[in-house]
Amino acid sequence: MERHFGIRPDDPASIAGITERRIQDAWAFDEDVRAIAANEEVLNLLGRLYGRPAFPFQTLNFPVGTQQAAHTDAVHFSSIPERFMCGVWLAMEDISLEAGPLMYVPGSHRWPVLSNTMIGRRGWQSELHSAQAPFQQVWSAMVESTGAVSETFAAKKGQALIWCANLLHGGSPQTNRALTRWSQVTHYFFDDCVYYTPAFSDEPLGRLALRQIVNIADGARKPNRYLGEDVSPAPPPPSRKGGFARWLGGVLTKRRSRS
C-alpha cells in the first residue's frame, strides 16, 4: 500500500505531497484488504445487529485523513427496505488528533433519511461531481437546529467503528500534513434487499439507480430482491450504444408500463 501511494514512512514530504488520497476496491487485488472486509467476526456481529446476513460490497483504503464534510452514506448506498447498509471504519495505526481523525454526530443515525424529493431536486440521470454536495447544507442545518455535538474517534490500531447508513460522519481537519492516517472502510449491505443510489434516483416516480452488487467475501453477484422477487436488470447487451444508464432507463420504463 505504501508503495502504491508513493509514501516512504521516514519521509514526511512524501506524505504531505501525495496526490491520490484513497483507493477504492483494493480488495480485488490485495488479499489483506479482502480478508479484513470479509472478517467472519464482523459479519456475524452485523448479522446479529441487523437480523439479516451482512456482506461486504466496497472497500476504501486511506493513507491520510479525508477531511470530508459530515455526510451520510445513505445518499450513496441505500436499500429497500431502507437503512440495511452500514460502514465499518478500521484504524490501521494509532490515529493522532493532528492526523484528521474520523468524526461523527452521535444520534444522527435516528434522523430522517434525506432524499432528492425532500430537497426539491431531480436525481434520475443527473450528473454530480459529488453525490453528497446537494445535501450538505441541509445536513449542516440539521446539526445546527438540533444542537448536536460531533465527536472524534481517536482510535488505536485495530479499533473499529460501525456507522449506520444514516449516521453523519466525515474526516476532521488534518493539522499536521506529515502524518498518515492509515485506515480501511468497508461498506456492507444485507441480504434480500434492493440496492440503489438515492442521489441519482427519484423514488416517488419509481426511478431507481439500481446497483450491480458483488459480495466481496465470495465474488458472487448479489441480486436486487424485492419481497423475494429478483428485480435485477439483465446485463446490458454488449453492442448497444448509449451506455448502461440509458439501457437501464429503458428496462425500468418497460417494467413500469407492464404493471
Ligand X SMILES: O=C(O)CCC(=O)C(=O)O
- Contact positions toward ligand X, by CB under 6 A? 60, 62, 66, 68, 73, 87, 89, 102, 169-171, 183, 185
Torsion of CA 220, 225, 230, 234, to 10 degrees: -60
Contacts 24+ apart (CB under 8 A), 245-252: 245/125, 245/209, 248/209, 248/210, 249/124, 249/125, 249/207, 252/206, 252/207, 252/208
- State whether the Cα torsion 212-224-27-157 is positive or negative: positive
Question: Whole-number minimum distance, CB 185 to ligand X, in Å?
Answer: 4
SS3 of residue 78 by DSSP: strand
Q: Closest CB to ligand X among 99 and 193?
A: 99
C-alpha cell, 29: 487485488
Which residue of the chain is nearest ligand X when measured via CB? 171
Closest CB to Fe ion: residue number = 73
Distance, in Å, from the CA atom of 165 to the CA atom of 78, rounded to the nearest integer, reads 8
Which partner, ligand X, Fe ion, none, binds residue 183 by CB below 5 to 8 Å per kind?
ligand X
3-class DSSP state for residue 196? Answer: strand
Distance CA 217, CA 34 (A): 7
If the CB atoms of residues 185 and 199 are measured against ligand X, the closer one turns out to be: 185
63 makes contact, choosing from Fe ion, ligand X, none, with CB < 5 to 8 Å by partner type, with none
Which uninterrupted H or E stretch holds 255?
helix 243-258
Stretch that binds Fe ion, among 51-59, 65-73, 89-97, 240-248 (CB under 5 A): 65-73
Q: Examine residue 73 and tell whether it contacts Fe ion (CB under 5 A).
A: yes
Interface stretch with Fe ion, choices 40-48, 68-76, 110-118, 131-139 (CB under 5 A)? 68-76
Q: What are phi and psi of 196, to 5 degrees?
A: -150, 170
Q: Which does 171 bind (CB under 5 to 8 A by kind): ligand X, Fe ion, none?
A: ligand X
Query: Which partner in Fe ion, ligand X, none is near 211 (CB below 5 to 8 A by kind)?
Result: none
27 binds, among ligand X, Fe ion, none (CB under 5 to 8 A by kind): none
Indicate the residue among 87 and 248 with the shorter CB distance to Fe ion: 87
Instruction: Indicate the residue among 33 and 248 with the shorter CB distance to Fe ion.
Output: 33
Half-sphere CA count of 97, side-chain side, radius 13 A: 2
> How far apart are CB 77 and ligand X at their closest, in Å?
9
Binding site for Fe ion (CB under 5 A): 73
